[in-house]
Structure 1
């Protein structure tokens, strides 16, 4: 029997792989502000080269899946999913480039489940239960606390992780739609193949906007445009490391979901908040403000409640 798929060690392996994904994603969240905020490399360029490198490293996985998995009835849904995923990454990197601290970025990005609820209700016809509504409201209050809305520390850049979460939540809704008649291998392959070209498309659109818009229209961290040239010096080595770590995180994530259920893995995924907060404090000297902690508890609590209530509801339906 294949050791990875053995039922006796699958939960332990799933937890280890998910923890590995959390650690590697935390490293990317430390490298990105160093390259963008500290070294001044445009976030669009960083993200583009990050995913070029990650895609090259993922080529063995792409060939193992096989291009026959590209047969689909929903090409535009796959493209929309890849574009929204790329936009989410761009918003996230732009937030780092604008000086938003790691703890705030990660906590606010965890509002994704609430956008999934909204999208599934509107576009997939799923029922808005009282549990979903209450959890969404609680998570919203938590996001307000973490973002420091109304304080002198709040900037509009603080909303970039929420925009990223909205994009990634939309990706999950499209994934749910595609999963009705598309194989997981097909969705994985389309994302691997399309995400880098979509980062290229976003960079081209931004470059066009920089060329035609009056000076000062775009934020300083975007106004340099995107020239598709790899930076040199320390930035080059850090981008190469960023791409490699990104590929490693995706591999860890794929292995985790291969051996264990998403419901079981969710608490281990939530460890990304303390992991990122700790690394941001140790490496970047970013200390969360006092309202971060109650806000983070509300976001985590609401997300966990959604997971618990949805699992209970599915179990009730399966036994009915």
Structure 2
């Protein structure tokens, strides 16, 4: 009787954790949809410089993090890998700049689909630069993901412009950031890696904004949208952490792709953007390939721990 009750309770906890993990990840996707819609409004519609928008967005996010930063303390910044931390944050900042610049020119549905190619660049970099063994299955999935990106880009069509490549450039730099993070986790704590990102990202964005037009905000409406983007950026990051803390990564990861239809819906409601036919086939390849890679990596990590 007691054993049956114990199994029942464990199932309830496990099931509840899985539901919570899925809910947190979907909520993070909704938060990112608000972020992307707000940034596209202030840059594409209101004429705000992308560098200024990125600076204010992450400054607000940093201010939202201050209670955690003060509680954590700056002692964790002591490190023997300062150069690697700085390089990682610089790559992340460049990725942010490319992303916000992309939102100033590219419809949300196209931008968000293209940024989802980032895991494939991670696989490519891990195989070429980190010396990791990448099997034929992962190379095949990576090739399919890139094929999906090419279908969405449609470089053979008249609609293709140089600006269309901006989200892809963001995906490249964010993939490089992920690879640097992966290396740093061998030597540094998660708190140290996170705090370096929070401390350095704002001044780097400030320097990029100062060098390309300043920090001007068009009006109060734009200011409100930028504050909203910053607050929701922090909320989305918190929700992602809670999602991975609630359930296994292999289970939670597919729910990350719900952000694609959420962003498509937001772009359609706010701007009237209607996705082209290429989106659906390209997105199917990208989502399927990235789910396969995420599941395979999680399974291999579990086997290695065992």
Superposed pair shares fold, TM > 0.5: yes
1:41 and 1:266 mapped to 2: Cα distance? Answer: 34
Aligned-pair distance for 1:318? Answer: 4.2
- Look up the match of 1:154: 160
**1:76–1:150: structure 2 CA closer, same or farther, 3 Å change rule?**
same
Q: Do structure 1's residue 101 and structure 2's residue 88 form an aligned pair?
A: no
Aligned with residue 295 of structure 1, among 271, 275, 282: 282
1:9 and 1:312 mapped to 2: Cα distance? Answer: 22
Q: TM-score normalised to the size of structure 2?
A: 0.91
- Look up the match of 1:112: 118
Q: Do structure 1's residue 9 and structure 2's residue 21 form an aligned pair?
A: no
**1:234–1:191: structure 2 CA closer, same or farther, 3 Å change rule?**
same
Deviations 1:5-49 (A, max 9, x none): x76633222222212211111111111111001000111001101
Q: Do structure 1's residue 42 and structure 2's residue 49 form an aligned pair?
A: yes
Q: Do structure 1's residue 240 and structure 2's residue 259 form an aligned pair?
A: no
The aligned length equals 294
1:262 and 1:239 mapped to 2: Cα distance? Answer: 31
2:254 and 2:83 mapped to 1: Cα distance? Answer: 33
- Look up the match of 2:131: 125
Where do 1:88-237 residues align within 5 Å? Answer: 88-98=95-105, 100-204=106-210, 207=211, 225-237=212-224
Contact 2:46–2:218 at 8 Å: present in 1 too? no
Q: Do structure 1's residue 258 and structure 2's residue 265 form an aligned pair?
A: no
- Look up the match of 2:67: 60
Contact 1:131–1:309 at 8 Å: present in 2 too? no
Q: Do structure 1's residue 87 and structure 2's residue 87 form an aligned pair?
A: no
Aligned-residue CA RMSD (Å) = 1.6
1:202 and 1:262 mapped to 2: Cα distance? Answer: 35
Q: Do structure 1's residue 276 and structure 2's residue 249 form an aligned pair?
A: no
Aligned with residue 73 of structure 1, among 80, 92, 97: 80
**1:309–1:251: structure 2 CA closer, same or farther, 3 Å change rule?**
closer
**1:116–1:256: structure 2 CA closer, same or farther, 3 Å change rule?**
same
Q: TM-score normalised to the size of structure 1?
A: 0.87
Contact 1:138–1:298 at 8 Å: present in 2 too? yes
Secondary structure of the corresponding residue to residue 277 of structure 2: coil
1:123 and 1:14 mapped to 2: Cα distance? Answer: 33
Is the helix fraction higher in 1 or 2? 2
Contact 1:49–1:230 at 8 Å: present in 2 too? no
Aligned-pair distance for 1:232? Answer: 2.4
**1:187–1:258: structure 2 CA closer, same or farther, 3 Å change rule?**
farther
Deviations 1:44-99 (A, max 9, x none): 0011011111111110121222212112221111111111111111101101112x
